[in-house]
Amino acid sequence: MDVPGPERRLAAVVAADVVGYSRLMEADETGTLARLKTHRIELIDPAIAKNRGRIIKTTGDGMLLEFHSVADAVLCAAEIQRRMSRRNTDVSPARWIQFRIGINLGDVIAEENDIFGDGVNVAARLESLAEPGGIYVSGAVRDQVGDRLDEIAFEDLGDQNVKNIARPIRVFRVRLQPEVTIAPQSEDATVTTTSPKKPSIAVLPLVNMSGDPEQEFFADGLTEDIITELSRFRDLLVISRNSSFVYKGKAVKVQEVAREFGVEYILEGSVRKAGGRIRVTVQLIDAETDRHIWAERYDRELEDIFAIQDEMTCAIVATLPGRVEAATHDRAKRKPTDNMAAYECVLTAKVLHHRSLREDNAAALRLLDRAIALDPNYAHAHAWKGCVLGQAWTYGWCEDREAIFQQVSAELEVALALDGNDSDVHRILAALSLNRDEHDRAAYHQERALALNPNYDLVVVQQGELLTWLGRPEEGIDWIKKAMRLNPYHPERFWSHLGRACYCAERYAEAAEAFSRITRPDYTHHAFLAATFAQMGNDVAAAAHAAEALKREPKFSIAVYLATQHYKRQVDRKRHEAGLVKAGLTA
């Protein structure tokens, strides 16, 4: 009786590979894996299923796919490359994830859940020829597809000799319309950052000229929105709102303010709101010469507020040295609301939130509920409701903390579904994920937040905090110090983040210095200081802080305390534990 041979069939084979995978993993292993996983879930797997393909196998940096239709294979590859190109616009080129893709139509041998043979080998060789973000196909694929696919054309590259295949292969490059972005560097190139010094700016609080004290919230909120919009420009250093608002209501000398913040430019102005109209007057000042280099007055309907913000930010950036081009600022726009009452509610809620008081937190929450009732699709309102609820959760301003935690998560998921380009959404989702010890998910949302708003001090400091938890404290220290530069009047918790990072980096003297800056330490700060001084061999100071920690928390337990710490690596957790034990605290 004849034994049947292996199954053979004609198939469209797609081979895909991540460009520069080793370099990406070396630079940021956790972040790269998290981003790849997210791209798989959100983009790649759905595109394969939509085009009736099948994943044969995956490797760390690539995958092999099979399609019954050549046209489906090409459409799937084109969709992946187009959408990946758009996703990369929010990421620095050093962290771009790009694919090379090769497609062949040929005979394959099927065995269990795998395929082999010449058809697979040719696809793999085509993939290795392709440029980053590109698709190369064989002559057989080109002949079968012809001109049937819209927005796809083929460029004949002629016969190519490829490794381990004796015959030449006719190769065609797929030309996508619009063109996908190709990385300027090769796979093995070293990415350098030799950009000149960034222009720097501080935005002073807009003066409320309406004569109505209630409009202070509107003026302050509009100032914060202008700071946020300017912060999205990668080539600007923008001082945070916390620091700028130190000068609210004060007569200032521009040169002194600039010297204090270490910036070259100051933006100041006023706002008058009456009925349905708004007048915003702004001027940009060169602090060194005290010269007005640009000024404008906007007298519009209130509904034009977003256009006013956009015009201001583009004009300012186009005016600064280096001629940062507004047309290529790589800024992701949030989706504004058409409901001005909802917008004003959010502006006021933000100002109340920043006061960090229980009654103001409750008032902010009521305003955000009203904003959402007025416009249920206002993504930024949902994001800030999550933030305000998160503040209540953090400070214990709630009866059922678990219920509030779930509500924070729900609001952020709604905001993310409505607008994935809001940096606050990703910032808070990163913090939420970290609280659940979901480090990969936290890294993904943190990277998105940083890409969307690289000058936002809360995002920047959180980057340093996350890197510390991931076991990269030296990098964390740099990010935290950058946040302190962006916000010279930063909250005290920045010192706590810096102290933890220095402790993890075994820079104990610097850790002690950072923790000593905290004026209202709780038992956790005293425990950290006890561990820090114990590691330094200062038994007297260690014992004093251990006693203070026990005084504030008589039921203190090392095990319970460490359960609140989000270290990914056991070596970091053990270092922290060792310091606590040396200080005389008990398990």
CATH code, 382: 1.25.40.10
Q: Answer for the pair 138, 103: CB distance below 8 angstroms, yes or no.
A: yes
Do 207 and 66 sit in the same domain of this protein? no
Contacts of 199 (CB under 8 A, 6+ apart): 235, 236, 237, 264, 265, 320, 321, 322, 324
- Name the residue range of residue 350's domain: 332-453
Q: What is the mean pLDDT of the chain?
A: 83
Is residue 135 included in any domain, yes or no?
Answer: yes
Here the CATH number for the domain that contains residue 46 is: 3.30.70.1230
Q: Answer yes or no: is 16 within a domain.
A: yes
Residues 166, 213, single domain; the answer is no
Q: Does residue 101 lie in a domain region?
A: yes
Query: 213: which DSSP letter?
Result: G
Summarize pLDDT for 406-418 with one digit per residue, the tens: 999 899 889 888 8
- Both 319 and 342 in one domain: the answer is no
Q: Are residues 27 and 139 in the same domain?
A: yes
Q: pLDDT at position 506, please?
A: 95
> Is residue 255 pLDDT above 90, yes or no?
no
How far does Cα 230 stand from its chain's mean position?
16
Instruction: Give me 465's structure tokens.
Output: 């905090």
309 vs 532 pLDDT, higher one:
532
pLDDT at 188: 35
* DSSP-derived secondary structure for 540-559: HHHHHHHHHHHHH-TT--HH
What is d(CA 586, CA 370) in angstroms, rounded to the nearest whole number?
49
Contact 353, 359 (CB under 8 A): no
* 3 state DSSP class of 138: strand
Alpha-helix runs per DSSP H in 98-210: 118-129, 139-145
Both tokens of 529, joined, read 């200081």
Element counts in the chain: helices (H) and strands (E): 24, 14
Task: Check whether residue 39 and residue 118 sit in a common domain.
Answer: yes
pTM value is 0.52
What was the pLDDT predicted at 508?
94
Count: domains in the chain: 3
- The more confidently predicted of residues 110 and 293 is 110
pLDDT digit string, tens, across residues 361-385: 999 999 999 999 999 999 889 989 9
Last residue of a domain, one of 296, 328, 360: 328
Q: In this structure, are 123 and 222 located in the same domain? A: no
Question: Do 241 and 350 sit in the same domain of this protein?
Answer: no
Closest CA to 291 of 264, 313, 312: 264
Residue 19 lies in a domain: yes
Could you read off the pLDDT of 533-566 as tens digits, one per residue?
A: 999 998 888 988 998 899 999 999 999 999 989 9
Which of 287, 307, 328 marks a domain boundary? 328
* Band of pLDDT at residue 4, cut at 50, 70 and 90: low
- Residue 120 and residue 307: Cα distance in Å, rounded? 53
Of the three residues 310, 328, 346, the one that is the final residue of a domain is: 328
Phi, psi torsion values for 494, nearest 5 degrees: -60, -35
**Within a domain: residue 484?**
no
Cβ atoms of residues 127 and 133 within 8 Å: no
CB 532, CB 555: distance < 8 Å: no
**Residues in the chain, how many?**
587
Angle formed by the axes of helices 523-536 and 539-552, nearest 10°: 160
From residue 268, alpha-carbon distances to 33, 250, 282, 285, 348 in Å are 44, 12, 6, 8, 20
**Domain check: are 265 and 369 in the same one?**
no
- Is there a domain that residue 340 lies in? yes
Please state, in angstroms and rounded to a whole number, the distance separating the CA atoms of residues 431 and 435.
Answer: 6
> Are 118 and 35 members of one domain?
yes
Residues of the chain with pLDDT > 70: what percent? Answer: 89
| CA gap 459, 419 in Å, rounded | 18
Q: Is residue 157 assigned to a domain?
A: yes
**Per-residue model confidence as pLDDT tens digits over 477-521:** 999 999 988 887 788 889 999 999 999 999 999 999 898 888 788
What DSSP assignment string belongs to 38-106? HHIIIIIHHHHHHTTEEEEEE-SSEEEEEES-HHHHHHHHHHHHHHHHHHHTTS-GGG---EEEEEEEE
Regarding whether 286 and 224 lie in a shared domain, the answer is: yes
Shared domain for 148 and 247, answered yes or no, is: no
**CA count, 13 A, side-chain hemisphere, 334:** 28
What dihedral do alpha carbons 284, 287, 288, 294 form, nearest 10°?
10
Of the pLDDT bands very low, low, confident and very high (cuts 50, 70, 90), residue 24 is confident
297 and 347 both lie in a single domain: no
- 316-348: per-residue pLDDT in tens? 655 554 333 333 333 334 446 778 788 888 888
Asked if the structure places residue 415 within a domain, the reply is: yes
Tokens in use for 397? 């301003």
